[in-house]
A and B are shown apart, each in its own frame.
Chain A
Amino acid sequence: MDILKQIADSLQKGDDPRVGALAAEALEKGIPAGDVLQDGLIAGMNVVGEQFRLREIFLPDVLLAARAMYAGLEILRPHLAKEGVPLRGKVVLGTIKGDLHDIGKNLVGIMLKGAGFEVIDLGHDVAPEAFVDAAVREEASLIGMSALLTTTMTRMREVVDLVESRGLSGQIKTIVGGAPLSPDFAREIGADDYASDGATAVERVKALLGVT
């Protein structure tokens, strides 16, 4: 079997030691790191994302695959830099002020990294100003916010308002997610989009940033 296909298959099984070993082997064979990333790791993660969207597998399955993705990325990272493989964009993520639930946000971060984005994870309990300051400082194109509580989700509006009041609406897009949220809520607070889960978040971020 083609080694890139083996990487994709092993990633789907969540076999992180094997993904790491295969990634190293592929590089030794002279396969460009960009190809290993795109046709091995990202191809495998795309299948996992699709299976999750179709409810054929469950969130912990995705997380096992994500760990395998990390194992592969660790091997590829120095080679990707040498090859000058461009990232798809930079994203600032965090759980909104007053909320410590960050597993959903972590999953979105993993999926975005897997899809080739650079992710600046601010963690949980993040103040609205901190989101915008980080996005400006890091020259990020998008802010992703998460909340699990109906009592904290309302603070997402403050981030959207700050982006607008600082004249950054054209440069920085906003996307929101979390169990109590909905597309209607995102529209109501003026966010650019809403995503219900990690796999959807990748698709929506790609669409917002105009990358394929």
Chain B
Amino acid sequence: MNGIIHFDLDSARPPREEVLAAQELPPAGALSPRLRDLLEEAFAEFDARAEPRAIAGELSLAELEEVLDGFDGPVEETVIGQIYPKGEAFALYVATLGTPLAERIRELFANNDLGRGWMLDAVASSGADRLSDLLAARFESELNGRGHPMSRVLPYSPGYCGWTVSGQRKLFARLRPAEVGVTLNDSCLMTPIKSVSGVLVAGPGEIHRFRPDFAFCDECKTRACGARMASVLKR
């Protein structure tokens, strides 16, 4: 999986229920009329402005080790540090929903249109996460077609599970995502804001299992890792 990938809007658009659940809102049917209107407006804005695309590049274990060596912490004390040595195939990626959508969110907040800004941000956040999942599914499908039917792919991203955002420096240096319009600032934050990055790790589902007993796990309230592990183990 190498090069620039363009996604169609129907794939990139997150399901309504997923957006609502991520924001701890009730299901669409139970929303008040004004919140339902806000949600529908946000989806219309998403459809009008999102430009979902990504750049990805496969790399070897040794090359991945070189990328992981570039962040300001001990890699063995991160989740990715435990997972990657067991992986069979790897791909770096940066995906984005593009500048017009990010600019619209900024504009809404700047104009104190807070409810609309918040709802569009919520839809876009789920949409950006969805791009990681779409890339993982694509990589898995490609590997299955290349004779690795048991390969299961999960994305791992800087900023989470011990891998700090400084890890993006080497990732960006290798992948050059400016080609899809994504840049990194001095603090290792991506522009446009609704962009995601990471490494796709492939291997039998078991390789993605880990004990969530790292020091940072005590501070984590999302505990999303359980559902992530389950998603590959059950298949």
Contact = CB atoms under 8 A, between A and B. Distances in A.
A binds B: yes
Interface of A: 14, 58-61, 63-64, 66-67, 70, 97-100, 103, 106-107, 110, 124-125, 149-153, 179-182, 185
B221 interface: yes
Given A58-B25, A63-B118, A103-B121, A180 B220 contact: yes
Contact of A63 (B115, B161, B185): B115
A59 B219 contact: no
A14 B118 CA distance: 15
Interface in B5-27: 23-26
Interface in B25-81: 25-26, 32, 34-35, 38
B35 A179 contact: no
A58 B221 contact: no
Given A59-B23, A67-B112, A151 B163 contact: yes
A67 B163 contact: no
Given A151-B160, A151-B165, A180-B219, A125 B121 contact: no
A14 B162 contact: no
Given A63-B115, A98-B165, A14 B34 contact: yes
Given A14-B34, A124-B189, 8 more contacts: A64-B34, A98-B164, A107-B114, A150-B161, A151-B159, A180-B219, A180-B221, A182-B219
> Which 6 A-B residue pairs are closest in the complex by CB-CB distance?
A63-B114, A64-B115, A63-B115, A151-B164, A150-B216, A70-B112
B41 to A, nearest CB: 11
Among A60, A99, A103, A152: residue with most chain B CB under 10 A = A60
Given A98-B165, A98-B188, A150-B220, A14 B159 contact: no
Contacts, number: 81
Contacts of B163: 151
Contacts of B187: 97-98, 125
8 contacts: A14-B34, A58-B26, A60-B119, A61-B35, A98-B189, A100-B193, A106-B109, A151-B165
B118 A59 contact: yes
Interface in B150-174: 159-165
A192 B109 CA distance: 29
Contacts of A66: 112, 114
A14 B35 CA distance: 11
B216 A151 contact: yes
Contact of A14 (B115, B121, B188, B189): B115
B206 interface: no
B179 interface: no
B32 A61 contact: yes
B107 interface: no
B142 interface: no
A152 B119 CA distance: 25
Contacts of A179: 221-222
Contacts of B185: 125
A150 B162 CA distance: 8
A179 B163 CA distance: 18
A152 B163 CA distance: 11
A34 B118 CA distance: 30
B113 interface: yes
B148 to A, nearest CB: 32
Contact of A149 (B24, B26, B35, B159): B159
B25 A64 contact: no
Nearest to A179: B221
Contacts of B24: 58
